Amino acid sequence: MQPAQYNRTTVPSDQRIAVFADVQNMFYAARNIYDDWLDYYKLLNTAINGRKLIRAIAYVVETDGVDQSGFKHILETAGWEIRTKQLKIRPDGSTKGDWDMGIAIDAISIAHKVDTVVLVSGDGDFTALVDHLKASGVRVEVTSFERNTALELINSATSYYPLNESVLRRK
């Protein structure tokens, strides 16, 4: 079953939205598909689409020795709140650095204050979150690069909007 679609030009302007961006997921998708970076100003404006923004949160994983202050400044200037966490290195050398639980908790916490949650990620792990939010009466839009998006996430969303080159920085 495909998610319901409507033309982005017909969304109600009084709709209250919250946007949650899985920065690591989107960074690697843009790099792997287009060999480019996202323009987070364009991304946020695409997600808002003239509606009333309640909150926009970008979730960033930081790595020791990598200065991300310039990137975080770009995010803040573009209108994003930033949540950061440190990349964890396990004893076996593998790494763990995702925000799945943090995004889920924040989305559930704000759901009663918005009409629509916009999830910017292609990670299929968010399917249960999308289903929960929809069961709570919240519209859930997923926007991501289709080639890097789990089919179950697309199918669980109220609406899915694939991103294209228009949201890239064009290095």
Domain boundaries, the chain: 14-167
Give the alpha-carbon dihedral of 119, 167, 160, 80, to 10 degrees. Answer: 20
pLDDT at 76 over 90: yes
pTM for this predicted structure: 0.89
Rg value, the chain, Cα: 16
pLDDT at 77 over 70: yes
- The arrangement of strands across the sheet holding 139-144 comes to 81-86, 52-62, 16-22, 116-120, 139-144, 159-162
**pLDDT tens, position by position, 39-66:** 999 999 999 999 999 999 999 998 888 8
CATH 3.40.50.1010 assigned to 14-167: yes
**pLDDT tens, position by position, 137-152:** 999 999 999 999 999 9
Q: Which of 45-54, 82-91, 129-138, 160-169 has the lowest mean pLDDT?
A: 82-91
